[in-house]
Amino acid sequence: MQEKGISLAVIQRLPRYYRYLGELLENDVVRISSKELSERMKVTASQIRQDLNNFGGFGQQGYGYNVEYLYTEIGKILGLDKQYNVIIIGAGNLGQALANYTDFERRGFTITGIFDVNPRLEGISIRGIEIRMLDELENFIKNNTVHIAALTIPKLKAPNVAKELVRMGIKAIWNFAPIDLNLPNDVMVENVHLAESLMRLSYNLKALEESNENNKK
């Protein structure tokens, strides 16, 4: 399978294909044409064909796509056939919500540690994972394989904690703190900002309202 030179736009669409294909699999759908997939996903059939052709094309003329095969291959491209250990730094509202969410495990992401600085949280367990104090972090990382650190701490604390994580050998940070982290190029940072997504929604809502107003005139 050829994966070189795939555009970022395609890569960003893959999780959505993966989710739809997963739903099809749960409903025992064995194969699907690009037309049917396009109707479900509200993406043009030609876009789907183009996107999936990037990987040498999993479809067959007149047969469509084998759902399980496509799901597995996209999973491999996204690295989901592997297991990742994730630690959460910051056991407040968001950190605890992430720790309580069981679906990440189904995707191969296991939460193995939760850290905070608030002594009142020490020893409390979330789904069997004990909250530890931040001063135990370095030893924990030395003694356990950690692939990803989620940062759910106040934004002003995030840059320093991120630097510390990198010094301890962490190469992938899932950053929820609303601040840009300035880290070496070989460290991957994925920012998740719900507020930015809300702003996009607000923009689209505003555009819709304006177009309705204009239609009334």
Q: Which residues in this chain contact ligand NAI in the complex, by CB under 6 A?
A: 89-95, 115-118, 134, 152-155, 157, 161, 176-178, 192-195
Q: How far is the CB of 174 from ligand NAI (least distance, A)?
A: 10
**Closest CB to ligand NAI among 5 and 119?**
119
Q: For the stretch 70-79, what's the b/e string if a residue is b when 16 or more beta carbons lie within 10 angstroms of its beta carbon?
A: bbbbbbebbe
Cα gap 148→94, rounded to integer Å: 16
| Residue 34 token pair | 């690009």
Q: Which residue is nearest to ligand NAI (CB)?
A: 92
Q: How far is the CB of 196 from ligand NAI (least distance, A)?
A: 8
**Closest CB to ligand NAI among 49 and 157?**
157
What is the pairing mode between strands 109-116 and 129-133? Answer: parallel
Q: How far is the CB of 63 from ligand NAI (least distance, A)?
A: 42
**Closest CB to ligand NAI among 75 and 90?**
90
Q: How far is the CB of 98 from ligand NAI (least distance, A)?
A: 9
**Closest CB to ligand NAI among 55 and 176?**
176
**Closest CB to ligand NAI among 82 and 155?**
155
Q: How far is the CB of 142 from ligand NAI (least distance, A)?
A: 18
**Closest CB to ligand NAI among 82 and 193?**
193
CB-based contacts of 92: which residues, under 8 Å, 6+ apart? 116, 152, 153
Q: Name residue 119's amino acid.
A: P
Cα gap 28→30, rounded to integer Å: 6
* Pair 76, 97: CB distance under 8 Å: no
Q: How far is the CB of 137 from ligand NAI (least distance, A)?
A: 9
DSSP annotation string for 72-116: HHHHHHTTTTS-EEEEEE--SHHHHHHHH--HHHHTTEEEEEEEE
What is the CA 51 to chain-centroid distance, rounded?
20
